[in-house]
Amino acid sequence: MTKHVVVRRRSGYEHEIEIREHRLIADEPEAKGGTDQGPAPSELLAASLGSCTAITLEMYAERKEWGLGTVEVSVDYEEATMDDPHTFDVTITLGAELSEENRDRLLTIAGKCPVHKALKSREVVINDSLEFVEEAEDED
């Protein structure tokens, strides 16, 4: 099923992101010419990875009837350079004691979250297109 997200410029690098009935703001930090009204796109990407990992683990644990206690996913990342790819270091912290076998299984499941799979895949397809819309002239 196709999902739909719309991003609209507000001012400068500040953009409103529309996802279903939700609204988010993305912007660049002042050091990169933005006004820091929201997270940068790369921060949203790391947040997507972290939240997808947490939710995937929670869904799996719920099906297995495992109590996880507190679930926290921390993502440290470095943006790509000309020589190196993006790097994401994901640390999962749980409040419950689990067997080594269950911990290993959860790490495997963490790698199966949809965002993780998309980032690791060499099969992601992005189709860009460009359209023009005639803007209304301001009446003075």
Model confidence at 138, pLDDT cuts 50, 70, 90, reads low
pLDDT attached to residue 124? 79
Is residue 61 within 8 A of residue 124, CB to CB? The reply is: no
Cβ-proximal residues to 79 (8 Å cutoff; 6+ apart), any chain: 42, 86
Model confidence at 24, pLDDT cuts 50, 70, 90, reads very high
Phi/psi of residue 22, nearest 5 degrees:
-95, 150
| Strand 14-19 to 71-78 pairing | unpaired
Model confidence at 140, pLDDT cuts 50, 70, 90, reads low
Q: What is the pTM of this model?
A: 0.87
Alpha-carbon gap, residue 80 to 32, rounded angstroms: 16
pLDDT digits (tens, 9 = 90+) for 67-123: 999 999 999 999 888 998 889 999 999 999 999 999 999 999 999 999 999 998 877
DSSP 8-state assignment for residue 11: E
Whether pLDDT at 37 is above 90: yes
Cβ-proximal residues to 72 (8 Å cutoff; 6+ apart), any chain: 54, 92, 93
